[in-house]
């Protein structure tokens, strides 16, 4: 199964510290990422960008991709 592809947007919704941390990891607005794994009960989300895997909080992932939190 192919991983789902997302484009990161809405960095302005994050606090400055989180924005800076993600930028240091090579993530920025307009960057394409692949969703590798999503844990149940709004657990962490594993994404891949430039052959690097990064764990994000579910809430941060939803904000970056414009997804809905529920």
Indicate whether 12 belongs to any domain.
yes
pLDDT tens digit sequence for 6-39: 999 999 999 999 999 999 999 999 999 999 999 9
Indicate whether 22 belongs to any domain.
yes
For residues 63-69, give the mean pLDDT: 81
Pull the structure tokens for residue 40.
């149940």
Decide: helix, strand or coil at residue 37. Answer: strand
Indicate whether 46 belongs to any domain.
yes
Indicate whether 36 belongs to any domain.
yes
Indicate whether 55 belongs to any domain.
yes
**For residue 69, is pLDDT > 90?**
no
pLDDT computed for residue 2 by the predictor: 80
pLDDT computed for residue 3 by the predictor: 85
In the chain, the number of structural domains is: 1
Interatomic CA distance for residues 9 and 20, integer angstroms: 15
Indicate whether 70 belongs to any domain.
no
pLDDT computed for residue 54 by the predictor: 97
Q: What is the CATH number of the domain that holds 60?
A: 2.30.30.90
| Domain containing residue 37 | 4-65
Pull the structure tokens for residue 64.
């970056």
Backbone angles phi, psi at 48, to 5 degrees: -130, 135
């Amino acid at each position: 199964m192919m991983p789902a592809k997302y484009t990161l947007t809405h960095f302005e919704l994050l606090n400055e510290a989180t924005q800076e941390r993600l930028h240091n990891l090579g993530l920025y607005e307009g960057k394409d990422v692949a969703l590798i794994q999503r844990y149940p009960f709004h657990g962490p989300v594993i994404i891949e960008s430039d052959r690097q895997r990064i764990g994000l909080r579910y809430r941060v992932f939803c904000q970056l991709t414009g997804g809905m939190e529920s």
